[in-house]
Amino acid sequence: MEWVDTTRYLVVTLDKCLPWSSHIDQVRKKTAQRMGMLGAFLNRKSDLSLMNRVLLYKHLVRPMMDYACPAWSSAARSHVRRLQVLQYKCFRLVTGAPGT
């Protein structure tokens, strides 16, 4: 048997010391990909109403970020902050709110 530093179990990436940085990086990458695919539907120039854009975001993007969050809630604030920043960017794109 060979020792590894990370492994995936039920779509959660587990690190050797459980800092959760690998899992959060994976979540950020997948979320960015999904936002790229849905960008034409979710941006403010879309013909969809704001309510429908928010509904798409809540059903297709946000669950990816929230999956297994009780398990990795002990992650360092800096790792969680990176995920929050991405979430804010996504939601600003969906709602058409100006960035800071």
Read off the pLDDT of residues 6-65 as tens digits, 9 standing for 90 and up: 778 787 777 777 677 788 888 889 888 988 888 888 877 888 888 988 898 888 888 888
Number of domains in the chain: 1
Q: Is residue 29 part of a domain?
A: no
Q: For residues 86 and 84, give the distance between their C-alpha atoms in angstroms, rounded to a whole number.
A: 5
**What pLDDT is recorded for position 20?**
78
**What pLDDT is recorded for position 71?**
72
Q: Is residue 41 part of a domain?
A: no
Q: Is residue 57 part of a domain?
A: yes
Identify the CA nearest to 20 among candidates 88, 86, 67, 89. 67
- The model's pLDDT over 52-63, given as tens digits with 9 standing for 90+, comes to 888 988 888 888
Q: Is residue 79 part of a domain?
A: yes
The mean per-residue pLDDT over the stretch 70-92 comes to 83
